[in-house]
Amino acid sequence: MEGMEDELPLKMLEEGGSSKRSHKQQEWQGKLPRIHKEVKRSPRRPDCPEHLAGGNIPLLPEQPDSEASVSVEDTAESCPKRWDRCRRGHFLHGPYPDTHFGPKACVLPNPTSVMHIQDPASQRLTWSKPPLNVLVIRKIRDETLLEPFKELCRFLVDEKHLMVYVEKKVVDDGSLMTDDSFSAIRNQLCTFREGYDDISDRIDLIICLGGDGTLLYASSLFQGSVPPVMAFHLGSLGFLAPFKFESFKTEVDKVFEGNAAIILRSRLKVKVVKGTFQRNEQPFSTQENGIAPHNHINNEAGKITLQLQVLNEVVVDRGPSSYLSNVDLYLDGRLITSVQGDGVIVSTPTGSTAYAGAAGASMIHPNVPAIMVTPICPHSLSFRPIVVPAGVELMITLSPDARNTAWVSFDGRKRQEILHGDSIKITTSCFPVPSICCHDLVYDWFDSLAQCLHWNVRKKQTRLTDASDSSETEN
């Protein structure tokens, strides 16, 4: 406690730039003889905004400092007024909890991971330079998207004078090849082939035409930093595509001007490690509370055969076998449980409305930092879906007594078999997908729930005709 009291005032003075120093602040910096006595703290409100900006606040990597910072010159007396202002504002994060508990207890400071949290409601898109290169992703094998695709390309090339990138198999479509009116635009398009050409450092903006699959495909093309994604609803479901194509010119102009609301959709960083994994043979049922000792695994490094960024989910299932899948689930190197059933889904909040939602998981807003673990048809009535913190590392392996192998897929792609000794390591990626909102990140999500999934839709209960009916019903 004493060491932390010595450091905090100096840090606050350096950050605030204040030239006025009190007698106590000079004493903390060693300019006056130290008086060893208990420091009497002024009363502080736990929910005061100075805790929102003045403490050690952990954050996901690569997010900017909060713009809604509080001046360190504000006194404790003005804190209630500032708190009233903040309470009337629009915040999606809850207040940062007070790190002091009673007169003598506090959270141990961790200076190695100190950043400020930016509230999601203030996440706005801005351009450091005007965007020049746009990637257009179109749903293939859908003839109804040919005209919207051509209109968008004409607008971007002729009116906006941008460089447009399109996948080669889209340009080679027979209907486009035979359209003479589009030939001038087609010759100006830059083409690429997935798996052969790397365009990750060339694209400034991604525009998707189709359904949710186009946004998943865009995520797979960028295994590092992802450009902003603008998705138009022209597919079957369109839960992740909030924009209507009828007004695409106006909407694209707004995005180019900047200041559009964005939602950072977290992704999963997944590694498939082949061989070398071993678990000490210790009966799982004998472990206290079903948790094995911390040193029960062999940490020898294996061969990483695949490393991916996943937007929706990682699915481990029993494949073509008729036996139950039997896989072990670890959290930060500790055995949590064994999954016996058709499989298990590890998903992001964005994926909570996809396969995980169909398997019984709760629907979670994409800005909630979490990882969901959802069993698929578990052979246990008590196996409920769980939500774990975003910073943990999950690992899935075949149980030693598993009768068959398992299969894994990543956003429905790159399906492969998992053998004994293989492991799948999953944690939250520091490269989210910045999805541009049509209205804002709260309205868009609930609008998609209502329009696409018909969330909580039922025939409304009719009201009673008069007061006497209620008493008669109760009797």
Look at the block and give the residue holding tokens 């910072």: 69
Give the H/E segment covering residue 269.
strand 268-274
Q: In the structure encoding, which two tokens stand for residue 90, read together?
A: 């629009």
> How far, rounded to the nearest angstrom, does the alpha carbon of residue 456 sit from its chain's CA centroid?
25
Least confident range of 30-39, 87-96, 449-458: 30-39
Q: What is the pLDDT of residue 14?
A: 40
Q: Per CATH, which fold does 124-258 belong to?
A: Rossmann fold (3.40.50)
CA atoms of 226 and 217, how far apart (whole Å):
12
pLDDT tens digit sequence for 189-236:
999 998 889 898 999 999 999 989 999 999 999 999 999 999 999 878
Q: Per CATH, which fold does 269-277+302-430 belong to?
A: Tumour Suppressor Smad4 (2.60.200)
212 is annotated as an active-site residue? yes
Catalytic residue among 212, 328, 411, 444: 212
Q: What is the pLDDT of residue 279?
A: 65
In this structure, are strands 394-398 and 325-331 parallel, antiparallel, or unpaired? Answer: antiparallel
CA atoms of 29 and 11, how far apart (whole Å):
11
Q: What is the pLDDT of residue 226?
A: 93
Q: What is the pLDDT of residue 9?
A: 39
Q: Where are the domains of the chain?
A: 124-258, 269-277+302-430
pLDDT tens digit sequence for 376-402:
999 999 999 999 999 899 999 999 999
Per-residue pLDDT at 453 exceeds 50: yes
> Per-residue confidence at 475, pLDDT binned at 50, 70, 90?
low
Rounded mean pLDDT, 422-429: 95
